[in-house]
Amino acid sequence: MLKIGIVGTGWFSGVHGKILSTMEGVQIKAVLGTTKQKADEFAYEFDHAKGYGNFVEMLDCEKLDAVYICVPPFAHGELELQLIERGIPFLVEKPLSVDLEVPKQVISKLQRNPLITSVGYHFRYRDSVKFLKNELENSTLGMVTGGWMGSMPTVSWWRNQETSGGQFVEQTTHLVDLLRYSAGEVEEVYAVFGSRSLHKTYDFVTVPDIGTVTLKMKSGVIANLSNTCILPDGDSKVGLDYYSDKGILHINHDRLEKSIGGLKSVHQDTVDPYLLENEAFLHAVRTGDSSRVLSNYYDAFRTQEVAVAALKSAESGEPVKINL
């Protein structure tokens, strides 16, 4: 029986908790909240789980096989470092942090103490992404454009640049990661961000609400990822368009649409990528074989580097090169 700990008692802890509770040979044993009371309330939903308000106490009291970290971007650091110190594999939700400071510390500790890690870039587990990659292998890709256009999530940490890192780091990171996974490494970024409306409508908004980032890829491909969180609830447009010598591929939240030489077809996602992500991680924890984990901490660090480079570029007004 794999004994699992969950850190965080919010929305995404719930999503992972539900999946874990349907899996054979897996028990959620411990939950960490910002207070013991919040942790107890969350843990109550799961048969064998106990709530904790202190991470060290949780790790001292339970013999955990793996821990899920589902906290906002600003709250990373000590959690990962403690787990590496104790040799406990972890799945951490994206993004790795608000910037590169904590991820660099984590990487440096991981290099000294290798450990199974997984990062929640779930797009990689979608079957439409598998089709997308196959199509791209047989074509010459020219450009990729797209973006994450939506409304502002209501949790308070999201609207604060210091606690979320802003939309590009927090949300559009999924598309940065998909771009890297499907079209290779990014060499340079140039970003323009702006604030049009949300800071006038809501209190304490310090994140930009519009932005566009041009990315030069190592292969010579040029990409552009834009984002806004200005839209009213109910309106959203999320996805990427790939333009190649074979035609157009459009991927959105649940399917891949192809137009190859004018012939149109659709691949609808059929499997739950979050389930596959969880299965791959727990398989690695059980067997030591992490070949099914499609995003580990090292790879996710590269995605974080690109997103943070965009922040730096928007601040300085200059293109920023990525160290490859």
Among 20, 31, 32, 115, binds ligand NAD (CB under 6 A): 32
Q: Are β-strands 247-251 and 2-7 bridged in parallel, bridged antiparallel, or unpaired?
A: unpaired
Strand order in the sheet with 320-321: 263-268, 255-260, 247-251, 237-244, 141-149, 222-228, 210-217, 186-194, 320-321
Residue among 135 and 277 whose Cβ is closer to ligand NAD: 277
| Contacting range for ligand NAD; rule: CB under 6 A; set: 2-10, 216-224, 227-235, 253-261 | 2-10
The residue assigned the tokens 């591929």 is 249
The answer to whether residue 34 forms part of the interface with ligand NAD (CB under 6 A) is yes
DSSP for 226-289? EEE--SPTT--EEEEEEEETTEEEEE-SSEEEEEETTEEEEEE--S-HHHHHHHHHHHHHHHS-
Q: Which pair of tokens denotes residue 77? A: 């650091």
Lookup: tokens for 20:
């874990």
Selected binder of ligand NAD within 17, 51, 73, 239 (CB under 6 A) = 73
The residue ranges of DSSP E strands in 120-169, in sequence order, are 141-149
The single residue among 2, 3, 10, 216 that binds ligand NAD, judged by CB under 6 A, is 10
Q: Supply the minimum distance, in Å, between the C-beta of residue 34 and ligand NAD.
A: 4
Residue type, 103: P
Residue with the shortest CB distance to ligand NAD: 10
Footprint (CB under 6 A) of ligand NAD, residues 214-243: none
Q: How many residues does the chain have?
A: 324
Q: Is 224 helix (H, G, I), strand (E, B) or coil?
A: strand
Instruction: Please select the residue that binds ligand NAD; options are 5, 33, 51, 103, rule is CB under 6 A.
Output: 33
Cβ closest to ligand NAD, residue 192 vs residue 275: 275
> Binding string, 131-150, against ligand NAD, x = CB under 6 A?
--------------------
Distance of closest approach, residue 211 Cβ to ligand NAD, in angstroms: 17
* Interaction of residue 122 with ligand NAD, rule CB under 6 A: yes
Given 11, 56, 113, 268, the residue binding ligand NAD (CB under 6 A): 11
251/291 Cα distance (integer angstroms):
25
Residues at the site binding ligand NAD, with contacts judged by CB under 6 A: 7-13, 32-34, 70-73, 75, 93-94, 120, 122, 155, 170
